[in-house]
Structure 1
Amino acid sequence: MEHLLNEWLWQEEYWLPSGIHWQDIELTEGGGRFPLPRDLIYTLPLAFAFIALRYVFERVIAVPFSRYLGVKDRIRVRAPAVPKLEAFYKQHRRPPSQNECVSLEKQCGLSQRKIQTWFRHRKNQDRPSNTKKFCEASWRFVFYLVAFIAGLGSLINTPWFWKHRECWRNFPRQPVAEAHYWYYMLELAFYLSLLLCVSVDIKRKDFKEQVIHHIATIFLIGFSYCANYVRVGTLVMLVHDSSDFLLESAKMFHYAVWTRTCDSLFVIFALVFLITRLVVFPGWVIHTTLVVSLDFFQPFFGYYFFNSLLLVLQALHIFWAYLILRMVYKFVFLGKVERDERSDAESELDDDEEEEPDENAEECGWTQRKGAINSKLASLANNCVLNNLTQQMNSRLPKAR
């Protein structure tokens, strides 16, 4: 397998400048750790460790913290047991059409109104609770915050953090410090754990895009490590982590219906995002990979490949910045932010709808009144600008790293 990879995938003329060989990287004077493709295999056990740690974190820390902040879950009316309707729902995962409803009416002996009500209640049962969404956001917040602090601490004293020409001096014969090695391994393992947990995490309408995003992120981090773009790669990860934890923290307060705190965090997130993604990233990172690097080597396939990926990433940044600025404009000048009817990323629109009464309403009147109260509490969160931002971003393109 290793021979085939070396022959077809890791050909030197693809990934290294002219005249450089893989052996030259490992035999550089001074010793030290050098990136090797086989190092990436260690990220798999690390990913499983992240999954176990997340399981403990959510139950021991996130759930009690959500109660402390006042996160409330809406009480939903459970659909009664109807085997025919349950079988249809599990097979199609959607309400029946008019013709299908007529067929189910004959099979179950229920009216069309009761069938529609049953499917509405059954769909609500599968929606994730605010507590679950809070736990997922808090886990990502903790990782992004720790990654940003650790990454900044490991890079602030490096020469390439202040002078980006140092990213290419002696490239690719650049040893990797132990801290930067673990920075790469842990980031890659984290995204691998997200990919492994995608089937049990909250399923949004951009489920397929999320899977593609995680795979693309894993590929980009792995490629930059194997080709020893580690110095530039650490800068790219640091730039993205600087705003990611702010977004996740704002989502946490959104689920807790702390509207003012959520809006304040959104403003901070927007400022950091616009500065890091529209100024720092293109002005420093892309400039050094696209222009400054040519002072040290002639263009080769890896140069074009890596810069193409960074330019695509920058295009996504511009698109998301447009969405953020539009949200800020509506929030500041119009006083509110209207929903994007195409998003509904977490299917929250239906949560705010009042359940239509059926013939069994008297039996569960108190339960429905509780649901109505919680629905009003949930409607307060609709004014939170973060919810609209999250929905608009998730409805179009996944966040790329």
Structure 2
Amino acid sequence: MLQTAYDYFWWHRLWLPVNLTWADLEDTNDRVYAKASDLYFSIPLAFVFLIVRYIFEIHVATPLAKVLGVKDKVKLRAAHNPVLDTFYKSSSKHPKQSDLDNLARASKFTVRQVERWFRRRRNQDRPSLQKKFREASWRFIYYLLAFIAGMAILVDKAWFHDLREVWKDFPKQTMLQSQYWYYMIELGFYWSLLFRVAFDVKRKDFQEQIIHHVATIILISFSWCANYIRVGTLVLVIHDASDFFLESAKMFNYAGWKETCNNLFVVFAFVFIITRIIILPFWILHCTWVYPLELYPAFFGYYFFNAMLWVLQCLHMFWAYLILGMAHKFLTGKLEQDERSDKDETDIPDEDDDEEPTKNGAVSNGHSVQNNNHHKAD
């Protein structure tokens, strides 16, 4: 049964144009084609990325954070209370009013004290500025190097300047060594992001990030197997083009360099809109949707590839909406909070609390910046 399912999954009529089979993509003396088995290499490469990231964050990002003055804020800790702690861990971090009344009676606190306890407890679990800085600096260095490498291997290619060249002789297009490493490194990186997503800083768009990583991995893998490598490299470099601006803006945000952060955010927003809202749909998606039909009838792989690209495009539109909202607040002087970021909650004192409140920081450190991962297809 498994063999039958395997045969149906790799049926050439699903993934290749009419009158072509997988036998047509076997290596010859002068041509080397991508193979599905090549993708296995991306998994150990992902673990290499995790190791390199660990070393980078300790020996590069942490000292850099100190140089730039990134400091963690002192947080008031919630007093140990078994009743409240049990509810916090097993039920909800944000109790309803009815829950507050019941918890107040059970813990012998006032309702205001229970509210304050939950605020402090939530703040204890929030990631530190240095953790956020380390993550941003790792992604910054990767996206910057990936974009430079992508441009280096594409700038002299015919399909970079003429999108019709993407489909010339498709799918019998020999694989270049530079394409192999570019694909494997990108795929390995996205696997590493997926492996780490549960441990990294969680944003409001956590679910969208999961969808983005999974869609990206599927899209990269499929485009490799079906030899959509030329257009795949274009999609990858487009996604890398804006991300390093965003990550650098975050880094300066956490360091408290407000003006530098805001200027980088403006550059990021501009590049993001140009690459992912204009170039990607009106050039790349047009290239993948229209040009192939001039050469062969539509088939399942054609629809599947375009569907996955549109999943990414929908995510880009969602993030563009957040970015434009941030830009509007930025221009009107009302920007106080990163739409996707987790924020520290103000610890409001009342008549029963004689401790000084902690300062509430907009975004993460009182400065404006839009958080986005990312991403590539980000």
TM-score, normalization: structure 1?
A: 0.85
Aligned to 1:335: 333
Q: Residues 65 and 309 from structure 1, CA distance in 2 versus in 1: closer, same or farther, beyond 3 angstroms?
A: same
**8 A Cα contact 1:71 1:131, kept in partner:** yes
CA contact (8 A) 2:147 2:241 kept: yes
Please give the per-residue CA displacement for 1:116-161, whole angstroms capped at 9, x wherever unaligned. 3222211110011111111111111111111111111111122211
Match in the other structure for 2:79:
80
What's the counterpart of residue 152 of structure 2?
153
Name the structure 1 match of 2:348. 355
2:142 match: 143
Contact 2:31/2:175 (8 A) holds in 1:
no
Within 1, Cα distance between the matches of 2:147 and 2:45?
A: 19
Q: Secondary structure at the match of 1:210?
A: helix
Query: Which residue does the alignment assign to 1:204?
Result: 203
**Counterpart secondary structure, 1:191:** helix
Shift, 1:240, TM fit: 0.8
3-state SS of paired residue (2:181): helix
Pairs within 5 Å for 1:205-220: 205-220=204-219
Which residue identity does 1:145 align to in structure 2?
L
Tell me, yes or no, if the aligned pair for 2:43 and 2:191 is still in contact at 8 Å: yes
Residue 96 (1) aligns with residue 95 (2): yes
- 8 Å CA contact 2:78–2:117 kept in 1: the answer is yes
Which deviations, in whole Å up to 9, do the C-alpha atoms of 1:48-75 show, x marking residues without a partner?
A: 1111111111111111111211112110
Cα distance 1:111–1:398, how it changes in 2: closer, same or farther (>3 A)? farther
Whether 1:262 aligns to 2:242 is no
Q: Distance in 2 between matches of 1:105 and 1:291?
A: 64
1:270 to partner: Cα distance:
1.9
Q: Which is richer in helix?
A: 1
Amino acid at match of 1:221: I
1:175-204 CA-partner distances (Å, limit 9, x unpaired): 211121111111111111111112211122
- Quote how far apart the aligned CAs of 1:302 are: 1.3
Residues 1:67 and 1:329: Cα distance change in structure 2 (over 3 Å): same
Report the more deviating stretch, 68-77 or 2-11: 2-11
Q: CA RMSD in A?
A: 2.7
Determine the C-alpha separation between the residues in 2 that align with 1:249 and 1:166.
35
* 1:100 Cα deviation from its structure 2 partner: 3.4
Q: Which residues of 2 match residues 182-261 of structure 1 at below 5 A? A: 182-261=181-260
CA distance in 2, matches of 1:399, 1:165: 23
Paired residues, number: 378
Aligned residue in 2 for 1:18: 18
Partner of 2:112: 113
Q: CA deviation at 1:15?
A: 0.7
* One of 339, 346, 365 as aligned partner of 2:341: 346
SS at match of 2:342: coil
State which drifts further: 285-294 or 39-48.
Answer: 285-294
> Residues 70 and 130 of structure 2 are in contact (CA less than 8 Å); yes or no, is this contact kept in structure 1?
yes
Aligned mates of 1:198, 1:9 — CA distance in 2: 29
For structure 2, the residue ranges without an aligned partner over 5 or more in a row are none
**Cα distance per residue 1:334-388 (max 9 Å; x no partner):** 2343658xx4x333151xx243257563xxx5xx47x44xx4xx359777442xx
- Give CA-to-partner distance per residue, 1:88-140, whole Å, 9 cap, x none: 21112414334434443444333333333222211110011111111111111
Q: Which amino acid aligns with 2:149?
A: A
1:267-278 counterparts in 2 under 5 A? 267-278=266-277
- TM-score of the two chains, using structure 2 as the length reference: 0.90
| Consecutive unaligned residues in structure 1, runs of 5 or more | none
The 1:101–1:294 alpha-carbon spacing in structure 2 relative to 1, beyond 3 Å, is closer
Q: Distance in 1 between matches of 2:247 and 2:347?
A: 29
Deviation at 1:237, TM superposition (A): 0.4
The 1-side partners of 2:143 and 2:202 are apart by: 21
What is the CA distance between 1:230 and its match in structure 2?
A: 0.5
> Distance between the aligned counterparts of 1:39 and 1:180, measured in 2?
12
Q: Structure 2 CA distance, aligned partners of 1:21 and 1:46?
A: 30
CA distance in 2, matches of 1:206, 1:112: 31
In structure 2, relative to structure 1, the CA distance for the partners of 1:213 and 1:237 (3 Å cut) is same
C-alpha contact (below 8 Å) 1:336/1:383 kept by paired residues = no
Identity rate, percent: 47
Contact 2:248/2:264 (<8 A) preserved: yes
Match of 1:305 in 2: 304
